[in-house]
Amino acid sequence: PPGTGKTETSAMIIRLWLKLHDQIDEQQPILVCAETHQAIDNLTRRLIKFVRVVRYGEPRTIGADLQEYTMQAQIDLLRRHNSPNKQLFGPPKPKEIRQIISSCQVLAMTCAGVGILEKDYRFPFILIDEASQITEPNILISLIRITN
């Protein structure tokens, strides 16, 4: 039921995983997924206070208060930093996406969105929020990404 602390519990699990992550000197981010944009946005809101989160997805599907945490916003910052006098527009390049993902602690996206990642991404931990609301094929898209 709503309001019972499930999302808060998920956020706490991620924070504990990150502590373990630091102890083993792991450089790969934790993948956090949910079936809906709203669910992943709610979890992202809980995490941004404590960890470096990148919310991956179409900016128009992501809450207005989370726009600065989107992959596109992070790529725009990267482009401004690396090339202040060059073109800042255009689709993200795979190299830029890899750089942003490698610099975050948590990558948050919908389960269906995980399928757009390059096949060579590996995540040491994955958390699927509201998993009881997801069909098995959508969960499998996310789970095949964990081979570490």
Domain boundaries, the chain: 6-143
Helix ranges (H only) for the chain are 6-23, 37-47, 71-82, 94-103, 136-143
- Greater confidence, 146 or 125? 125
Does domain 6-143 fall under CATH 1.10.10.10? My reply is no
Give the model's confidence band at 130: pLDDT under 50 very low, under 70 low, under 90 confident, else very high: confident
Q: What is the pLDDT of residue 9?
A: 92
The pLDDT, as a whole number, for residue 3 is 78
What Cα–Cα distance (Å) separates residue 134 from each residue in 19, 121, 126?
28, 22, 15
**pTM above the 0.85 mark?**
yes
